[in-house]
Amino acid sequence: MRLGLYGGTFDPIHSGHCHLIQQLLERGIVDELVVVPVGNPWMKKTEPQASGHDRLRMVELAVEGLPSDIRARVRASDTEIHRAGETYTIDTVLEIKKARPEADVVLIMGSDAFSSIGKWHRSAELLSLVEVFVVAREGVGFDIDALTISSTMAREKIAAHEDVSNELPESVWSYIQERNLYASK
Ligand code: NAP
């Protein structure tokens, strides 16, 4: 059983992330997937704009909006947003391996995240515990026809009152409007 671990800031989760989730399952790259919004991304220069609670809720809404055969194999996890201190992927991997000892953990990431993996906490140990699956962005990694969408682009468009209906799942966009998230940069 190949269990994908897809971590991200997801500030907010967007249609590019959802496209990737679908491709991973449709192409049989993983059998199941856990999507994990990060709690305290210590290597980033700036903190996420939305709270952990809001980012998790948006991930849950995006998962609920996936086609039912895909949705049945995807789970949003609150483990990192509830963990105190800096968030380390190794801790999440160890938790998953304890809960699901039968599973081979596949760490899913884009090429930007992969380029810094050598600097991650206990990176050698992390890399000994997982298979890494790098998704192509700008030509590097496995090609899933990634959509050219980023969370930064979505936040900037929202702050500029531009239409983001192509960038975000409908339910996520409704949530952002209800909570008035990303109204300013
Ligand atoms: P993010 O911007 O929220 O995006 C999540 C992931 O989706 C990234 O791997 C990103 O790839 C990919 N992605 C973004 N847009 C996409 C698109 N249109 N199509 C396909 N893929 C897309 O993620 P992030 O803030 O960089 O966080 C990445 C993860 O790394 C987090 O889980 C964080 O905890 C982890 N991390 C861990 C440590 C540690 O343990 N010490 C240190 C640093 C980071 P790109 O990377 O190419 O944008």
Of 5, 6, 13, 17, best ligand 1 pocket probe by most atoms within 8 Å of the beta carbon: 17
Please state the atom number of ligand 1 nearest to the C-alpha of residue 91: 40
Q: Quote the mean pLDDT of the chain.
A: 93
Sign of the Cα pseudo-torsion (98, 41, 27, 141, in order): negative
Distances (CA, A) of 91 to 18, 75, 88, 97, 152: 25, 18, 6, 10, 27
Ligand 1 midpoint to CA 38 (Å): 9
Instruction: Please provide residue 23's backbone torsions phi and psi, each rounded to the nearest 5 degrees.
Output: -60, -40
Please state the atom number of ligand 1 nearest to the C-alpha of residue 11: 3
Q: How confident is the model at residue 144 (pLDDT cuts 50, 70, 90)?
A: confident
Task: Give CA–CA dist 103/12, Å, rounded.
Answer: 29
Q: Is the pLDDT of residue 138 over 70?
A: no
Smallest CA separation from ligand 1 atom 25, residue: 9
Query: Which amino acids bring their CB within 6 angstroms of ligand 1?
Result: 7-10, 16-17, 20, 38, 41, 43, 87-89, 109-113, 120-121, 135, 137, 146-147, 149-151
Does this model's pTM top 0.85? yes
Task: Give CA–CA dist 47/11, Å, rounded.
Answer: 10
Q: Residue 109 burial (CB < 10 Å; 0-12/13-18/19+)?
A: buried
- What fold is seen in the domain 2-179? Rossmann fold (3.40.50)
Q: Is the pLDDT of residue 153 over 80?
A: yes
Mean pLDDT calculated for residue range 86-100: 96
Q: Is the pLDDT of residue 137 over 90?
A: no
Mean pLDDT calculated for residue range 89-115: 95
